[in-house]
Amino acid sequence: MTLENLTKEQFIRDFKDTLHEEQLIKVPAATPAELFTTLAKVIRKYYTDSWLERNRKLSEEQQKIAYYFSIEFLPGRMLETNLLNLGILDLVKAGFADLDVDFEAVKNAEHDMALGNGGLGRLAAAFMDSLATTGYPGFGNGLRYKYGLFKQRIVDGYQVELPDSWFGSIGNVWEVRKDHDVVDIKLFGDVYLAIDENGKFSPVYKDAQVLRAVPYDVPQIGFENGNINNLRLWDVEIPEEYELNYPTLADRRAVQDITAILYPDDSNYEGKQLRLVQEYFMTSAGLQTIIKSYLKQGLPLENIHEKVSVHINDTHPAVAPAEFMRLLVDEYGLEWDAAWSTTVQTMSYTNHTILSEALEKWDAGLFKKVLPRVYQIILEIDNRFVAGLAQEGRDADLIERTRIVKNGQIHMANLAIIGGHSVNGVAKLHTELLKEDTLHDFYVLYPEKFNNKTNGIVQRRWTQIAAPELSAAIDETIGKEWRKDIHQLKKLEAFADDDAVLANFYQVKQEAKARLAKYILETTGVEVSTDAIFDVQVKRLHAYKRQLLNVLHIIKLYWDLKDNPDKDMVPRVFIFGAKAAPGYHFAKSVIKLINELANLINNDASLQSKLKVVFLENYNVSLAELIVPAANVSEQISTASKEASGTSNMKFMMTGAITLATLDGANIEIKDECGDDNIVIFGLTKDEVYDHYAKHDYYSRGVYENNPVLKRVVDTFINGTIPNSQSEGSEIYDALITQNDEYFLLADFDAYVSAQERIDSLYRDQRTWSRMSLMNIATSGKFTSDDTITEYAEEIWNLKK
Ligand code: 26Q
């Protein structure tokens, strides 16, 4: 069926028929979950033909396809995106209004698909949307976790983690199981090389564990273009023929564990066997199907790079080059050199971090135990790499630093770089730092492999879906074309001094704030006024992101108001949302402290509601859709050089928040776009931070002792002012003073306070603030992931639409 011809009446008939036939119930009696499932089924019928057609066409036309390998995908809810992209969101909403069904309630019945921790997973999901929207053939490859990122509850101020059983009673309504594409995965056991009848070495596997990888495809629907790509997620099963190997429930459970949980990112790399199994499982399954479907075209395997790109999203799938070599050489009989040449041309890698402690390394003994044959192949790759460089006469130390296997460890980033043709960072500064510092040795060896791809966001989700009132205001001002071409937002610049337009946008922000205020009241009991500045920091909790710097400033305001209750300030609501990795003690202490500080402040009548602090539990994509459009201030205050890019900064900008930022990650590019007058920048630069490292001259205790305001703030952690947080308070105090403040909070404190004062004075003038806000929206088009993915497609993967 073609959706252009779909009428509201037809939709209502389809919906009722499906509800009656499949759920045996009438609309008024159905629960939101039943209505949601029914709606999803109706939509599936609408797009199934296009999906089949797309798959057929791609294989018929022998187009090159990119496969995005990622251990995380974080799409959030899919219902509205699917409706919007099919061009029937308004039609369905109108149909529901006729049926007297609350669309919001139905939408809320969908569980977030949260198969990711944060930025990296959300970026992968954004790329899926943008690949379908731009029309490039690109498929996702990942794991179908039974439990997504943990659900966060706050109990007595502490984070408590609960399993996220996202399948619930509904299951994943969008996925389709593909039994005809299952593959087997071999783990453990022994491998030795035997000489076959042709005199060639061939590996013989002994006592290997054989598991079945079963794919589930989730459609990725392009925006109003009829394109549908696949996100393929793998689940694990025990093959029937091996069932006897798993006699007990515990044996079977150990297998199911492979796709049970998503590992939380705790930034300090810890090599867990199960994680390695997960990484290999999805990588091997993906590569096996890719080779099979390529061979169906009847083309020679040594040219597979002409039809296939495999992208390695961070090092988590970085075993890919080695596994690809294993398949090509062992299973398909290619000569090593031909296999290596096509492998390097097939693979490309994105780095998402410069924190070297977060770079993945595996203990060689563990690796050998889990993947004995892949281990041999990695040794061979490494030996050839070393021999090649030695022959070129390269410096011996350089060779040692860049090789893959050393000191009993396998360095996955090194494998990804050596085994691929492209390495990219995710913002200009980040890529420069990779070249200069983290990956400098590789930059010396392979300058041509390095390139930048600044991250992006799916603008449609953050405007048309999350901010419908804002979208309507944009329509009224510049027409609707921006919905298809986000760069049209530039036209808003012409209205930067139009009072009526500014007032309209101000009003829209007030409505979004009122919605959030209602949610805050319902979930936390805290009453906040929409006249206050909504100052927001939502992201994973990490020391380098410096939620604690935000806290220092809040404590400063607290003392200001205690000293002088009549202090002239615009009322402020500080809003936090953040999950801490369950094993990340310090991050959890910061959460506890924020909650106790919130209790202290929100219940102190003497502050006259000039100051409120709110911690919203269980921050996820759906909550972001509520929070982001309601923000006045976007806190992007990481220590310069530490945040690879950041992507929430882009979402806030697009919905008219003013960015309060250090010169880090993509903040720099945001500043370049919106102009110095429309952003508030503060703090040490990356060069200044590096200078402190080089000179070893930073001494936080000195800063603390010489700054009475700061000293009073820091002492607040340990003098009993904040109730119920004695041990957390002293842990934080120690980090800042005894352990010399690794992330330079005290160094940036004064600059941050001044920047916050500037925010206060700018906000007082509604016209000035609204102008800045409009300029941010107008210049945000640069950060569309449609453009980012176009750069990947053209510059790295060499795809055609
Ligand atoms: C690694 C090993 C074991 C367990 C977990 C992990 C793990 C999981 C997730 C390590 C890292 C992550 C996630 C990293 C991440 O989200 N990085 C962010 O990527 C964004 C997209 O490029 C950037 O915008 C952010 O700056 C970066 O922090």
Which residue, among 174, 5, 10, 171, has the nearest Cα to 80 in the 3D structure? 174
Cβ of 426 below 6 Å from ligand 1: yes
CA distance 129 to 86: 12
CA distance 250 to 524: 41
Cα dihedral 741→745→747→749 (10° resolution): -150
Average pLDDT over residues 599-606: 97
Treating both helix axes as pointing N-terminal to C-terminal, what angle do 79-86 and 119-134 enclose, rounded to 10 degrees? 20
- Asked whether residue 392 falls in the same domain as residue 479, the answer is no
Q: Is 795 among the domain residues? A: no
* Segment (H or E) for 762: helix 745-764
Contacts of 416 (CB under 8 A, 6+ apart): 312, 315, 318, 320, 321, 347, 349, 423
Does residue 454 have a pLDDT over 60? yes
**Cβ-contact 548, 752 below 8 angstroms:** no
* Segment (H or E) for 377: helix 372-391
Residue corresponding to tokens 């410069």: 354
Strands (E), 371-419: 405-406, 409-411
Cβ of 645 below 6 Å from ligand 1: yes
CA distance 542 to 578: 9
Cβ of 119 below 6 Å from ligand 1: yes
Ligand 1: which residue has its CA nearest to atom 15? 120
**What tokens does 80 get?**
């509205």
Q: What is the pLDDT of residues 657-696, one digit of tens each?
A: 999 999 999 999 999 999 999 999 999 999 999 999 999 9
Q: What is the pLDDT of residues 351-387, one digit of tens each?
A: 998 887 778 999 999 999 999 999 999 999 999 999 9
Cβ of 644 below 6 Å from ligand 1: yes
**What tokens does 578 get?**
């953040």
Strands (E), 415-551: 423-425, 450-452, 533-538
Rg (CA), the chain: 27
**What tokens does 460 get?**
């449609």
What count of Cα atoms within 13 Å lies in the side-chain half-sphere of residue 521?
10
Helix runs in 525-647, H state only: 547-563, 585-602, 621-627
Ligand 1: which residue has its CA nearest to atom 13? 120
Task: Out of 425, 453, 481, pick the residue that ends a domain.
Answer: 453
Residue corresponding to tokens 């050089």: 641
- Asked whether residue 410 falls in the same domain as residue 526, the answer is no
Ligand 1 atom nearest the C-alpha of 270 is 3
What's the CA-to-centroid distance between 504 and ligand 1, angstroms?
A: 38
Cβ of 118 below 6 Å from ligand 1: yes
pLDDT of residue 693: 97
Domain containing 323 — which CATH number?
A: 3.40.50.2000
What's the CA-to-centroid distance between 224 and ligand 1, angstroms?
A: 31
Q: Which of 72, 120, 412, 637 to mutate to test the pocket of ligand 1 (most atoms within 8 A of CB)?
A: 120
φ, ψ of residue 325 to 5 degrees: the values are -60, -45
Contacts of 57 (CB under 8 A, 6+ apart): none
CA distance 399 to 733: 42
**What tokens does 436 get?**
């200069």
- Asked whether residue 404 falls in the same domain as residue 537, the answer is no
CA distance 450 to 424: 6
SS3 210: strand
What's the CA-to-centroid distance between 20 and ligand 1, angstroms?
A: 45
Q: Is 29 among the domain residues? A: no
Average pLDDT over residues 628-640: 98
Ligand 1: which residue has its CA nearest to atom 1? 265
How, if at all, do strands 209-221 and 183-187 pair? Answer: antiparallel
Average pLDDT over residues 127-142: 97
- Asked whether residue 421 falls in the same domain as residue 478, the answer is no
CA distance 630 to 741: 33
Cβ of 456 below 6 Å from ligand 1: no
Which residue, among 750, 727, 463, 691, has the nearest Cα to 593 in the 3D structure? 727
Q: Is 649 among the domain residues? A: yes
Q: What is the mean pLDDT of the chain?
A: 97
What's the CA-to-centroid distance between 421 and ligand 1, angstroms?
A: 22
Provide the 8-state DSSP code for 202.
E
- Asked whether residue 616 falls in the same domain as residue 746, the answer is yes
- Percent of the chain at pLDDT > 90 equals 94
Residue corresponding to tokens 């589930």: 216
Q: Is 4 among the domain residues? A: no
- Asked whether residue 716 falls in the same domain as residue 635, the answer is yes
**What tokens does 301 get?**
């395997």
Task: Out of 408, 423, 453, pick the residue that ends a domain.
Answer: 453
pLDDT of residue 684: 98
Which residue, among 291, 304, 283, has the nearest Cα to 349 in the 3D structure? 283
Band of residue 564 on the pLDDT scale cut at 50, 70, 90: very high
Q: What is the pLDDT of residues 462-521, one digit of tens each?
A: 999 999 999 999 999 999 999 999 999 999 999 999 999 999 999 999 999 999 999 999
Kindly list the distances between the CA atom of residue 144 and the CA atoms of 175, 257, 271, 332, 388, in Å, as whole numbers in the listed order: 10, 12, 21, 28, 40
How, if at all, do strands 65-69 and 113-115 pair? Answer: unpaired
Q: What is the pLDDT of residues 53-76, one digit of tens each?
A: 888 888 788 899 999 999 999 999
CA distance 485 to 507: 25
φ, ψ of residue 615 to 5 degrees: the values are -110, 115
Ligand 1: which residue has its CA nearest to atom 17? 120
Number of domains, the chain: 2
What's the CA-to-centroid distance between 72 and ligand 1, angstroms?
A: 9
φ, ψ of residue 784 to 5 degrees: the values are -75, 135
SS percent in the chain: helix, strand, coil, step 5? 55, 15, 30
- Asked whether residue 396 falls in the same domain as residue 510, the answer is no
SS3 430: helix
Band of residue 339 on the pLDDT scale cut at 50, 70, 90: very high
* Segment (H or E) for 285: helix 273-295
Q: Is 44 among the domain residues? A: no
Q: Which residues are catalytic?
A: 352, 539-540, 545, 647, 651
How, if at all, do strands 658-661 and 680-681 pair? Answer: parallel
What's the CA-to-centroid distance between 264 and ligand 1, angstroms?
A: 9
How many residues can be counted in the chain?
801
**Cβ-contact 92, 11 below 8 angstroms:** yes
φ, ψ of residue 350 to 5 degrees: the values are -110, 130
Q: Is 32 among the domain residues? A: no
Q: Which of 353, 361, 638 to mutate to test the pocket of ligand 1 (most atoms within 8 A of CB)?
A: 353
Q: Is 539 among the domain residues? A: yes
Kindly list the distances between the CA atom of residue 542 and the CA atoms of 341, 585, 729, in Å, as whole numbers in the listed order: 40, 11, 17
**What tokens does 699 get?**
């001494």
Q: Is 85 among the domain residues? A: no
What's the CA-to-centroid distance between 312 and ligand 1, angstroms?
A: 13
pTM above threshold 0.85: yes
**Cβ-contact 106, 39 below 8 angstroms:** yes
Q: What is the pLDDT of residues 718-742, one digit of tens each?
A: 999 999 999 999 999 999 999 999 9
- Asked whether residue 417 falls in the same domain as residue 475, the answer is no
**What tokens does 299 get?**
């083309």
Cβ of 120 below 6 Å from ligand 1: yes
Ligand 1: which residue has its CA nearest to atom 7? 265
Residue corresponding to tokens 């770079």: 359
What's the CA-to-centroid distance between 132 and ligand 1, angstroms?
A: 24
φ, ψ of residue 668 to 5 degrees: the values are -65, -40
- Asked whether residue 596 falls in the same domain as residue 448, the answer is no
pLDDT of residue 182: 98
Q: Which of 262, 319, 352 to mutate to test the pocket of ligand 1 (most atoms within 8 A of CB)?
A: 352
CA 714 to chain CA centroid, Å, is 33
φ, ψ of residue 677 to 5 degrees: the values are -75, -15
Average pLDDT over residues 323-345: 98
CA distance 149 to 118: 9
Cβ of 265 below 6 Å from ligand 1: yes
CA distance 377 to 418: 14
Does residue 146 have a pLDDT over 90? yes
The Cα angle at residue 288 between residues 286 and 291, in degrees rounded to 5 = 110
CA distance 40 to 83: 10
- Asked whether residue 397 falls in the same domain as residue 533, the answer is no
pLDDT of residue 201: 82
**Cβ-contact 625, 648 below 8 angstroms:** no
Average pLDDT over residues 186-195: 95
- Residue 544 belongs to what domain range? 459-781
Does residue 294 have a pLDDT over 90? yes
- Asked whether residue 436 falls in the same domain as residue 502, the answer is no
- Asked whether residue 380 falls in the same domain as residue 519, the answer is no
Task: Out of 433, 453, 473, pick the residue that ends a domain.
Answer: 453
Cβ of 352 below 6 Å from ligand 1: yes
